[in-house]
Chain A
Amino acid sequence: MRLLQFLTQRLLISAVTLIGVSLLIFVAMRLMPGGFEDIILGPFASDAARAATRARYGLDQPVLVQYGLWLKAALGGDLGSSMISQLPVADEILRRAPATIQLAVMALLIAIIVGVPLGVVSAVGRKGNPLVPLARGVGVFGLGVPDFVLGAILVYLFSRFQLGLNVGGFVPLAADWQANLRVMTLPAITLGAFGAAQLQRVTDVSAREVMTQPHILAAIARGDAPGTIIVRHVLRNASIPVLTAASTFFGYLLGGTIVVEQLFSVPGIGQYVITALTNRDYAVVQAGVLVGASFFLAISMIADIAYAVLDPRVGDPS
Chain B
Amino acid sequence: MMARMLQLDRRILIGGIILVVLVALSLLTPILPLGDPAKVAAGPRLSPPSWLFPFGTDQLGRSNLPRVLQAIQSTCILSALAIALTMVVATPLALFAAYRGGLIDQGVMRIADVLFALPPMLMAVLVAAIVGPGWLASVAAIVMISLPLFLRIVRSAALSVARRDFVTVARLSGASPLRVVFVHLLGNIIGPLTVQFAYALSVGMLIESTLSFLGMGMQPPAASLGSLLFTGTPFIAIAPWLVLLPGLVLTLIVIAINLLSDGLRHAIDPIEQQGIA
Contacts and interface: CB of A to CB of B under 8 A. Distances in A.
Interface string B204-217: 00100110011000
Given A140-B258, A152-B233, A258 B125 contact: yes
A296 B213 contact: no
B214 A262 contact: yes
Contact of B213 (A13, A156, A206, A259): A259
Interface string A253-294: 001111100100000001001100110000001001100110
B178 interface: no
B110 interface: yes
Contacts of A201: 274
B129 A277 contact: yes
A58 interface: no
B236 interface: yes
Interface string B101-131: 0000000001101100111111001110110
Contact of A140 (B114, B129, B255, B274): B255
A144 interface: yes
Given A17-B110, A25-B126, A259-B213, A149 B117 contact: no
Contacts of B153: none
Interface stretch (A26-34, A172-180, A225-233, A304-312): A26-34
Contacts of A141: 251, 255
A16 B107 CA distance: 11
A188 interface: no
A104 to B, nearest CB: 12
A57 B13 CA distance: 59
Given A146-B206, A205-B272, A297 B250 contact: no
A163 to B, nearest CB: 15
Contacts of A17: 110, 113-114, 117
A273 B122 contact: yes
B213 A148 contact: yes
Nearest to B132: A33
B172 interface: no
A293 B117 contact: yes
A258 B121 contact: yes
A152 B244 contact: yes
Given A140-B258, A156-B240, A270 B233 contact: no
Contact of A144 (B119, B237, B243, B251): B251
Nearest to B111: A20
Contacts of A255: 118-120, 122
A153 interface: yes
Interface in A128-186: 140-141, 143-149, 152-153, 155-156, 159-160
Contacts of A153: 244, 247
B209 A20 contact: no
A138 B113 CA distance: 31
B169 interface: no
A289 B123 CA distance: 9
A6 interface: no
A133 B198 CA distance: 24
A198 interface: yes
Contacts, number: 136
A20 B244 contact: no
Question: Which secondary structure characterizes the binding site on chain B?
Answer: helix
A143 to B, nearest CB: 6
A20 B247 contact: no
A20 B113 contact: yes
Nearest to A297: B117
Nearest to B214: A259
A65 interface: no
Contacts of A274: 122, 125
Contact of A270 (B122, B132, B274): B122
B223 to A, nearest CB: 16
Contacts of B214: 258-259, 262
Given A17-B114, A152-B233, A152-B236, A146 B254 contact: yes
B197 to A, nearest CB: 17
A241 interface: yes
Contacts of B210: 146-148, 259
Interface string B239-277: 010011001101110110011000000000001101001
A202 interface: yes
B244 A256 contact: no
B151 to A, nearest CB: 14
A279 to B, nearest CB: 11
Interface in B37-92: none
A28 B122 contact: no
Contacts of B110: 13, 16-17, 20
Given A148-B209, A252-B119, 11 more contacts: A13-B110, A28-B127, A143-B254, A146-B210, A146-B251, A160-B240, A201-B274, A255-B119, A258-B214, A270-B119, A270-B122
- Top 8 nearest A-B pairs by Cβ distance? A255-B119, A144-B255, A20-B114, A149-B247, A144-B254, A293-B117, A292-B119, A145-B251
Interface of A: 13, 16-18, 20-21, 24-25, 28-29, 31-33, 140-141, 143-149, 152-153, 155-156, 159-160, 198, 201-202, 205-206, 208-209, 241, 245, 248, 252, 255-259, 262, 270, 273-274, 277-278, 285, 288-289, 292-293, 296-297
15 contacts: A20-B111, A21-B118, A24-B118, A28-B126, A28-B127, A33-B132, A143-B254, A143-B258, A147-B210, A149-B229, A155-B236, A248-B277, A259-B213, A274-B125, A297-B117
